[in-house]
Structures are given as structure tokens and as C-alpha cells.
Amino acid sequence: MKKLIIFLYCLSPFSFFAQTIISEHKNAGAFRIVAEGRGATIIYDKEDDPLIQIAANLVAGDIQKVSGHTPKQLSAVSGTNDVILVGTIGKSKMIQQLIAAKKINVDQIKNKWEGYQIQIVKTPFKGIAQALVIVGNDKRGAAYGLFELSKQMGVSPWYWWADVPVKQKKAIYVQVKTPFVDAPKVKYRGIFINDEAPCFSGWTKEKFGGVNHLAYEKVFELLLRLKANYLWPAMWGNAFNDDDKLNPILADKWGIVMGTSHHEPMQRSQQEWRRYGSGAWDYEKNHSNLSDFWRDGIINMGNHESLVTIGMRGDGDEPMTMLLYCCLMTTGEIFENFLKLAISQEVAVTGYIIISIMWEVLAIINGSIPILFRGCGSKCIWLGSIRSDRFGL
């Protein structure tokens, strides 16, 4: 990638002063990733989440960048001296076997959102001398554990986007006497690809043919390496779910939680309304067409992990088209209808309906919050407000 600068609004939600576990020198009890022309084998359960294999492939490539040695990858335990074993609690049979045999203790990360731990285990299985075991409470936790190795080996999350060079090493060892444990302090952490035209849009058209899944996979990888998990996609002339049907599928595969921007409710983009909508962007005058439009957004979302933006504001950066008293009268109805729709489509069966309401909309509905939860029960999570830089009222 060459000559692209974008502004990202990020959080640093993990530990600022993480323990250093990578060394070029062998000390007592160290685990060898690469040394003296030999390297560890990466093992994961093929029945684990697809993100584990994606991360393992990337980290194998990182080891090659640093050392020149490409690790083998296996999906089952095989007799060898050193293995890097990665998996999630409850999904990896090998991880479950280690827990059952009391070879590892996962109490510090169990049920902790995106938590992970890294530790060295002697003779984890018959025929294996030692293993570097990376356990995630969930799929992103396991991936973050792998990418922690990459970061400490010297592979920057920005190696592709900013051409950050990788320093070569003749040997890579892991030294960790007690489990290295980490988890985010902020649950959802991500970016908004905002005001992307013409710079980002033009660049992606030149390099990838457009703002498509090929471009987004590079974004997804960067987010995971930064230990982020959330994305508002490009919206100037772009519709993430409509332009390329692989976009939402691959976002889910990469473990990225997708949302839509501050004036794009129900997983429908502004461009989709311009393509398929009918009538005015005005709930008081056009609620039937708007409801049908939004219903399709929830149906298309399916069980992909998502944050659903709700509430209306002016189209683009225009002011609201309805009077304030109309907003007060209709906002509660919008929320109640959304909840009925979302629950009827069973979007909360395998997860939660995550509700984020923009600051400018929240300002006029504080007295109507109880309506928001009618019939929602424990399947809704209230995130409070997210402030926009422009006010639609």
C-alpha cells in the first residue's frame, strides 16, 4: 500500500504497559518459536471458529517476515517438540482437554469478553515436549492473543497500511513464567470511515476496483491487529451491505461487529434509501414505506453480529424535516415498532439487540426511554448516547 493517509478515531482499551514476553535470547524455561533453523508448529481445531484459522495464517506469515521461517500449520495434535496451540474455550477440543487435565486454568478469562491468556505448558499431550498455549474466552480473544505475539515480535498493525518495516530476528523465544492475561476495558472499539470521498474512494477504486470486500478485508485485518472490533463503513456513495454481498459475510467471518452511521437506522444505508426508498425521509408523512425499508435491513442482517443504530435525523447533514412536537409524538412509536420487528425476526436469539441512539435524537426523547424497553426484556442493551459532530435539529 502506498501514499494513503486516513484519520482513525480509536481507543486504547487494553493494558498500556503489557508484559514483554518475546526475546531473541534463550533463557531457562523459554519457548522457541524460531531458532537455529527450526520452528514451532501452529495447531488449531478445525471445528473452532473460522477466525482462529484466519489469525493463525496471518501470524504464520508474520513469523516468516521476522525470521524467514514459515511455520507448519496443523488442525490436530501431532508429535513434535514445540507447538503453538490456539483455541477458544468451549469450541476447541484440545483446549478443553487441557482444561479437563488441569494443564491450564482459565478462570481469569472465562466469561470475560474478548479475554485471552498466553502460557507455556510442559508435556501438554503425549509426544509433545512443550506448547505455547493461547486461549481465548471467545474467537476475538483468541485472535488478539495471537496478534499480541506478532506485535511483540515487531510486526506493526500498520505494516501494510503505512509500510512499517519489519526488523529481522535470527531467533524468537517466548518467556512467560505466569500466564499473560489481558482483556479490553471498553467493550466496543472501532472506527468510522467518514468523509471518504474522493481520497479513500478513489484509492480503493484504483487498487481494488471499489470499496468492496477486497478493500474491507484489509480494514478488518487492521482492526483485529489493533484489538478493535467495530466498524461504521464508508457511506459517501457507498452501501456496505448492498454494493458487495460478500462484505457482511466476511465481516462476520473476521469477527467484526458492523454498524451504520449516525443517520442510517436499522442497518440500512443512506444510499440504499436513495436506491430503493419511496417518498419523503419523514416518519410522520411516510412511516409505512420507511417501516418496510427498515424491516428489510433487520431481515438481511440475520445473525451477523451487529450494532443497530435507531432514531431519525435529517438526511445527510440536513435539518430534520418534521417539527419538534412531531418528533416527540412519533419517536416512541419508531422505537416500539423497531423492537417488535427485531424480536419478530429473532435477531436476539443468538445474541443481543444493541441499541445506540444519537445525542441529537436522545435530547428530545429522554422522557420516553421506558417505551424503548417495552417487550424487550433482557435481550436489549442500552448504550446511552453517542454524540455526533453535527446536529440534525
CB atoms within 10 A of CB 50: 13
CATH class of 22-182: alpha beta
d(CA 299, CA 346): 9
Reported pTM = 0.83
CATH 3.30.379.10 in the chain, residue ranges:
22-182
pLDDT at res. 153: 95
With the C-alpha atoms ordered 178, 179, 180, 186, is the resulting torsion angle positive or negative? negative
CATH 3.20.20.70 correct for 190-386:
no
Instruction: Note whether 381 and 352 are within 8 A (CB).
Output: yes
CATH 3.20.20.520 in the chain, residue ranges:
190-386
Work out the average pLDDT over 111-124: 96
Exposed, middle or buried, 211 (CB in 10 Å: 0-12/13-18/19+)? Answer: buried
Residues, the chain, total? 393
Instruction: Note whether 299 and 248 are within 8 A (CB).
Output: no
Average pLDDT of the chain is 81
pLDDT in tens, 336-370: 666 666 556 554 433 344 444 444 444 444 444 44
Residue closest to 55 by CA, chosen among 230, 223, 189, 306: 223
pLDDT in tens, 122-167: 999 988 989 999 999 999 999 999 999 999 999 999 999 999 999 9
